[in-house]
Structure 1
Amino acid sequence: TGVGVSSGQVVLRLDADMLVYREHVESQMRWHHQADYTVVMGHKLFVDFDPSALVPEYVYEEVAAGRADRLFDRDSADPHWVERFIARTDRLRSAGHEGFKVYVGATGSLHRSLFDAAGGMAPELVLGGDSEFGHRLAQRGAVFVPDEDTSSWHLGRSQMQEQRNAGTRYRSPYVSNRVPDFHLRRKRPDRQWEVPLVDVVLDVAERTLEEVDTTASALLGGSTPDLRLWMVGSWSRLHDGRRSPLQEESLDLRLIHETFRGDPRVRFVEEPPETDPRVPFRLYMEAGPPTSSDALAELIRACDSSGAGLLCAPLPGALRAKEGVLRLERVAAFERARHLAPEAEGEKLDRLVEEVYGIHWTPATDIVVASGPEEAELEGVKGSSEEPEESVERLRARLEQATVRGDRMRRRAERAERKLRWFTPGLTRRILRRIAR
């Protein structure tokens, strides 16, 4: 409400029980002259407060004279837990994707344009709103800056200091539903939440039911069910008119839709959807590869450990094919890049992400279950020189992989034959007559 009726370029939020030093506001404003995507956190110390011990007129005179630091005993004051986090991460330089966690209210400022872009505070969150807003700010590419050149006194203890268990119990479901990186949410990896951890954009165009089922079922049934799956295909081609059930052109598309329409995590779209800025990751891949149960977890872990804004994982057997690369985007990195260069697209946008966050390449050999034909041949050559005798288990696994590939290719051939008959009725008979002549 206060921000809504204000007009300044910078929004600085102070709790009503804060007593700030004389230079507190000025010190934070200096950062916003440098960049419009910084979120500045002011320093504070918690002190016991007796309203009858200090009269407002005396406090005013001391602050105006630059003696605010003498109003309370600094040695007996309690630092906030964020101070330890800031110190442990080299003043947030090494905090990575966890930097937003320091945004827990009391004193902090940001540019109005960033406040508006992130959507402002969520009024439905009576408690925990700062943490949720900090997440949305981070997703918009914000840089969190601790300003320690001045300080302030928090008059009294915080609610979480005095009623930690009750406060955590209340906040946990509200924040968990909206912040994928909330630490208490990670204790329930089997749950699905309002804001997923990752949006998977799966290209199912020109793919068979079996290919799509192989990839989609592995993702949906994996160790990271906290996802939203967007299937991109020509769904408008499906109709309820007369058709040949087993030979229609869009047979596989129809079967794919019927197979997955009951899963609330699956969406059917004609084009890749607009980026949801609340969701931390966005994975692009084509249907076909059978991913491991930990595929999403491994990709996200690799992206977080490298701190990269974009992770690329070439599939075995398709190292040089652009379409054979799993592409995991960190939404915060792309949002910051778009903010810095709104006109950048495609490879130019990737280059900017590489500059501000970095790009990490990793093989997808541990992400997919079965290797492609080219990789299988390479493994066979390697086995002839380094592994003269393969185990029964390995041979059985390779046989199963080859069987899956053979079945997949046979189904694709059948699909191509159906399309040929659909588009060129009578063509097969004409060709056979010519051969017979």
Structure 2
Amino acid sequence: GVGVSSGQVVLRLDADMLVYREHVESQMRWHHLIDYGVALGHKLFVDFDPAAMTPEYVRDEVAAGRADRLFDRESADPHWVERLIGQHDRLRTAGRLSYKVFIGATGSLHRSLFDAAGGMAPELVLGGDTEFAYRVAQQGAVFVPDLDTSSWHLGRSQMQTRRDAGTRYRSPYVSNRVPDFHLRRKRPDRQWEVPLVDVVVDTAERTLEEVDTTVSALLDGSTPDLRLWLLGPWSRLNDERRRPLDDELLDPRLVHETFRGDPRVRFVEEPPETDPRVPFRLFLGGGPALGPTAVADLVKEIDKEGAGLLCAPLPGATRAGDGLLRLERGSAYARARHLEPEAEGADLDRVVEETHGTHWIPGERFLAADEGEETPTVRPEVLQQRLDKALVEADRMRARAQRAERKLRWFTPGLGRRVLRRIAR
């Protein structure tokens, strides 16, 4: 539908929506102000009897400005997104959560933003609105709830009438594509199609041991859904005759051979292009021994502050590239590039600081304890992560045991009676 249309703004309405007379005009006001805004229309769910209202009658009532009287507002059901909108000052304080309320039925955005996000994914039969909203957010969009007019959703939504079945279907499709999808967090031990973080590690002038210290800590850490990009002179590695132990490219060669078998590792000579689907990019040099929860802790810290850039200086660095953990929020940098297309480097960081803020924090908290040092007290949030993971595993094993018990009962008739007699004895 969007592909064959020609308007500057795309407004999506589900076929079972009945909007007030001012609904379209009200949303268009926002798009006159900014071209990276997303307007969300208000709606109420009502039971609908087609025989009770003719299309002609409804049309006349809407034209006369009486759409709000077609149904009883007191008996209508609000959408769950209204709670999130109300809790976060009309999304002013919602931060990264804003996209979660842009889930179809009624909403609009500039065609340029629609195209930049890649449009709707046709392979997602259900859950496509959530996934599309996430990609729009990754383009640096601002989500604006337009509450000055409303609409009626004729009948109940699928997620209201068949919530469990709908959630079961959507979960794997959305989880693979949306890193902060809440159901995905229940499987923290898994790798997904879209990683949570792209990690760029500079290996230039580093030894195998230095690179191994950093990369192995990342690969073995509590965040497996990451993608590593190792910067190095890989094109210079060839099969020409050389003295193996005196090779000037000995360390790059050993690094390449050490990690080339891991599917999460890529070898590049320049920092990779930004993947708009990935929410974060982490830059660091090879050498620092990161703690097992370092990536998760960095993401949690930048989300807590709502910042676009987090910088964590490391103690005892002897080279400039070793001295900083730099975590970038992809959506913040996308908006900065949209606002100032010519900005690069420090100038781009300045724009991000103006729009989202830059957060500085000491980097030692993200490092592993040295051998021989007394193990520091585990932080409460780390214990909570371990507990959540253990509870998920316990639920999985409990379900597996129940399935095994049902099979055992099926194949061994009378087993329950024999077990009860044995217990009675």
Q: TM-score, length-normalised on structure 1? A: 0.84
Structure 2 match to 1:12: 11
Tell me if the contact between 1:121 and 1:130 (Cα under 8 Å) persists in the aligned partners: yes
Other structure's SS at 2:148 match: coil
Aligned pair in 2 of structure 1 residues 105, 319: CA closer, same or farther (>3 Å)? Answer: farther
Structure 1 match to 2:231: 232
Q: How many angstroms does 1:62 deviate by?
A: 0.2
Percent sequence identity over aligned pairs? 76
Name structure 2 gaps, 5 residues minimum.
377-425
CA–CA distance in structure 2, aligned partners of residues 347 and 271 of structure 1: 18
> 1:205-257 deviations in whole A, cap 9, x for unaligned?
11111101000000010001110000010001111222212111111111111
Other structure's SS at 1:273 match: coil
Other structure's SS at 1:200 match: strand
Structure 2 match to 1:220: 219
Structure 2 match to 1:244: 243
Aligned pair in 2 of structure 1 residues 395, 153: CA closer, same or farther (>3 Å)? Answer: closer
Other structure's SS at 2:149 match: coil
Structure 2 match to 1:100: 99
Q: Residue 336 in 1 paired to residue 335 in 2?
A: yes
Structure 1 match to 2:148: 149
Q: How many residues align?
A: 376
Other structure's SS at 1:196 match: coil
CA–CA distance in structure 2, aligned partners of residues 93 and 105 of structure 1: 21
Tell me if the contact between 2:308 and 2:328 (Cα under 8 Å) persists in the aligned partners: yes
CA–CA distance in structure 2, aligned partners of residues 231 and 393 of structure 1: 30
Other structure's SS at 1:109 match: strand
Structure 2 match to 1:54: 53
Structure 2 match to 1:202: 201
CA–CA distance in structure 1, aligned partners of residues 287 and 140 of structure 2: 33
Other structure's SS at 1:246 match: helix
CA–CA distance in structure 1, aligned partners of residues 272 and 191 of structure 2: 20
Structure 1 match to 2:314: 315
Q: Residue 73 in 1 paired to residue 40 in 2?
A: no
Tell me if the contact between 1:312 and 1:328 (Cα under 8 Å) persists in the aligned partners: yes
Structure 1 match to 2:168: 169
After the TM superposition, which parts of structure 1 deviate over 6 Å for at least 4 consecutive aligned residues? none
CA–CA distance in structure 2, aligned partners of residues 341 and 394 of structure 1: 48
Tell me if the contact between 2:198 and 2:280 (Cα under 8 Å) persists in the aligned partners: yes
Q: Residue 26 in 1 paired to residue 28 in 2?
A: no
Q: TM-score, length-normalised on structure 2? A: 0.86
Tell me if the contact between 2:284 and 2:321 (Cα under 8 Å) persists in the aligned partners: no
Aligned pair in 2 of structure 1 residues 394, 359: CA closer, same or farther (>3 Å)? Answer: same
Name structure 1 gaps, 5 residues minimum.
372-391, 398-437
Structure 1 match to 2:391: none
CA–CA distance in structure 1, aligned partners of residues 196 and 132 of structure 2: 16
> 1:351-389 deviations in whole A, cap 9, x for unaligned?
110000000000011111257xxxxxxxxxxxxxxxxxx
Q: How many angstroms does 1:321 deviate by?
A: 4.7
> 1:262-316 deviations in whole A, cap 9, x for unaligned?
1100000011000001000000000000000010011111100000000000001
Q: How many angstroms does 1:172 deviate by?
A: 0.3
Q: Residue 187 in 1 paired to residue 216 in 2?
A: no
Other structure's SS at 1:210 match: helix
Other structure's SS at 1:293 match: coil
| Root mean square deviation, CA, Å | 1.6
Relative to structure 2, which stretch is displaced further, 115-124 or 361-370?
361-370
* Aligned amino acid, residue 95 of structure 2: G
> 1:168-194 deviations in whole A, cap 9, x for unaligned?
011000000000010000111100000
Other structure's SS at 1:231 match: strand
